[in-house]
Chain A
């Protein structure tokens, strides 16, 4: 279970981050589209997110500091859920910008997507939270770096 959670969540993070990594300016547009954060911090957040996503994904897949990376992953998913719920609530129609794209779309399309995006992120949140609760998983680097003390 723990191993599966790590690979699923970590794999999604790696995928999402690697798609966005080559286009930092597009990532900034995606973050701006939420019209939520103060404008001054948006460029930094937009440029940092893909990098953080790749790192969290790599840590989870390898199983390094699982409790810490699981916590980071859970907090990020929670932030995304809040972000999507907020644009839905305010009637702003955007692509979530989760995997590359991002920016304005037709309202009908956006409204149809929001529930699924929130459900997906909540699922990933639960898997991440599980790893915070039970960070010891099979085939993780943690087992090598921090061996369970005997006795």
Chain B
């Protein structure tokens, strides 16, 4: 192939087929991908681990598994071990016989096959299935300035923004290919220039904005641009566990409701702390967010339930997966809300999702028994993959995840509204059937 990128001797040799046709095609893919964005060089991937978005053995993705097979046959194992997104199935999550038939025979019939492929290619741990691989308990936490070949929009935006690592919004397959050759094209969010902000977002709300709603508003406004957010430090204080959890959910909403790969929060995120408003480009646009703007965004979400007044049959919390801190906080909030409502168990079947390693740690705390006693299921599942089952998508499912809302029929509510609904407090769960 003709190319303009300046490749090292090793990279050129791979492209020329010195290590076989399959690796040559991998390199061709990365070179062509990079050249579209003006990359003139490839740079080494420097993180310890990779993270892949594809974790599900979905029959519809058979062409992907065939491509993976080509890599395995060619001996093109990943140079890095990696984590992958959450598993799509967990028997602990409520599902009926028909839904299970669809899950196992029509949708995820290739799950075992695909997990075998992942192990052959370099899965870092048999249970390394989560979208929040950067949690301490999981152990795939990149350092500031490290170059990644990750995918999974919520993980990429967190790694870039909160950890200060450098990663483009890579697609599935491209993620693995970067790891196979050990290089990624140098462009976009890997460069200082690409990390400059195109927008200044001014937060002027009267209370701490809901993370998932704020992220949605910003994502829909700036799309793939980089926002520099001012006024949020007033509500977050410092980059502690609470703030990290907030930014996890906020970032996931910016990335799924728009295409944000990096944001800066003044006084909070590492590059904003180090460089301040020097990160903002000349001529950056301004977006002001007040209470009215958040309400406008909330009201704009379509309600796709057949019966908008249906009684919820399931509640999913944890897309992206919950942190340990979040599991504990929600246990405490549930306890208090149920006590206030005069109940001991949730009135809507409720699933909290988290990384297997986080669940393990949570189960070592006294909160786990308490949460279970309140009727809440803790699972490692990907709620999105659950909702993709057409027999599940017709169910009235509620969530406080704006990512889940975007990709499925699940209906978004704020955290407080979710708490009310699942505990039957205040207004209580809504009546009626769809």
A binds B: no
- List residues of A whose CB falls within 8 A of some B CB: none
Q: Which residues of B are interface residues toward A (Cβ below 8 A)? A: none
